[in-house]
Chain A
Amino acid sequence: SQQGEEDPQALSIQEGENATMNCSYKTSINNLQWYRQNSGRGLVHLILIRSNEREKHSGRLRVTLDTSKKSSSLLITASRAADTASYFCATAPLSGSRLTFGEGTQLTVNP
């Protein structure tokens, strides 16, 4: 089964609202990364948070990591229609060479 699992699978909000997506994982990690995928395009890296970090910000993005609960959240503030995309979390193991992706959250921001 996948290491990372996003929740919810789909989220629909109005422009200007905040969007929160969650990711849970099973085994200990080196870091956790969030990616965005626009329809028909490749994934774009958004933010990386290391296992010894609890919170990280990048523009309108805020990521938290709780290693005790093996979970992370991605918050997009003041969402825009251009934020409509699929969002994936990916976990990097403590050892090994595989980055494991979840199934993604489809975010729709309505104008």
Chain B
Amino acid sequence: EAQVTQNPRYLITVTGKKLTVTCSQNMNHEYMSWYRQDPGLGLRQIYYSMNVEVTDKGDVPEGYKVSRKEKRNFPLILESPSPNQTSLYFCASSYRGVSGWSNQPQHFGDGTRLSIL
């Protein structure tokens, strides 16, 4: 089954304790992205990757890191989490396609709810 898998689905942790949220897709997609969803603010892009070893900042990258060492995986790293990073996080992927990734539907994971105390 074609899917984007995020782990963990839920995590409660404390300020300053490094954590990684994993994202894996089995569709051989070139483009992958991380979003956070907050009430009243919609989805905001954190980082994206056009292909292996190519990453770039989205709208709200501060406090986050990513890496793209393999095509299927795109982990999100919070080196020193803070309470303002409490949010619902989504990973998404898509094909690049002939006319570019933005003309392709994005496939989303089911989300990771992070609570940072």
Contacts and interface: CB of A to CB of B under 8 A. Distances in A.
Physical interaction between A and B = yes
Interface of A: 2, 30-31, 33, 35, 40-45, 48, 50, 88, 90, 92-93, 97-104
Ordered nearest first, which 10 A-B pairs have the shortest CB separation?
A42-B108, A45-B105, A92-B102, A101-B43, A103-B42, A43-B108, A42-B110, A101-B42, A42-B109, A41-B110
B48 A42 contact: no
B39 to A, nearest CB: 9
B42 A97 contact: no
Nearest to B31: A97
14 contacts: A30-B100, A30-B103, A35-B108, A42-B110, A42-B111, A43-B43, A43-B108, A48-B103, A88-B43, A93-B102, A97-B102, A98-B48, A99-B102, A101-B43
A41 B111 contact: yes
Contacts, number: 63
Nearest to B100: A30
A66 B101 CA distance: 23
Contacts of A2: 41-42
B43 to A, nearest CB: 4
A100 B45 CA distance: 8
Interface string B88-117: 001010000000111101111111000000
